Amino acid sequence: MTTVHIKNDLTGQFNIEASDSTVILHKGVTIDSAANGVDEAATFSGSTIVIAGNITTSGLFSTGIRSRGAGADITVAETGRLSGAYGITATGDNALVVNEGRIVSENRAILINGEDSRFINHGTTVSHSGAAFETGQVASFAFLNDGRMVGKTGLDFHAGDLKAVFGEDSVVKAGNHTIVTNTADGDTARIVNHGTLAATVEDTFPEAIVGGAGSENIRNDGLIRGQVILGDGADRYDGRGGRVTDGVVEGGAGNDQFYLSDGGTRVVEGIGGGYDRLTVSFSYKLEAFNEIEEIRLAGRGDFRLTGNMQNNYLVGNASDNRLFGGDGQDGLFGGKGDDILTGGAGGDGFYFKPHAGRETVTDFTDGEDFLVFVPGKDITDMQDLLDHHLKQTHGGLLISGDGTEMLLKGMHKADLGFDDFIT
Q: What residues does each domain of the chain span?
A: 1-129
Write down the mean pLDDT value for the chain: 96
Q: Identify the band that residue 271 occupies on the pLDDT scale cut at 50, 70 and 90.
A: confident
Tell me the per-residue pLDDT of 28-85, one tens digit each, with 9 for 90 and over.
Answer: 999 999 999 999 999 999 999 999 999 999 999 999 999 999 999 999 999 999 999 9
Contact 54, 80 (CB under 8 A): yes
pTM for this one?
0.94
| pLDDT one-digit tens code per residue, 310-335 | 999 999 999 999 999 999 999 999 99
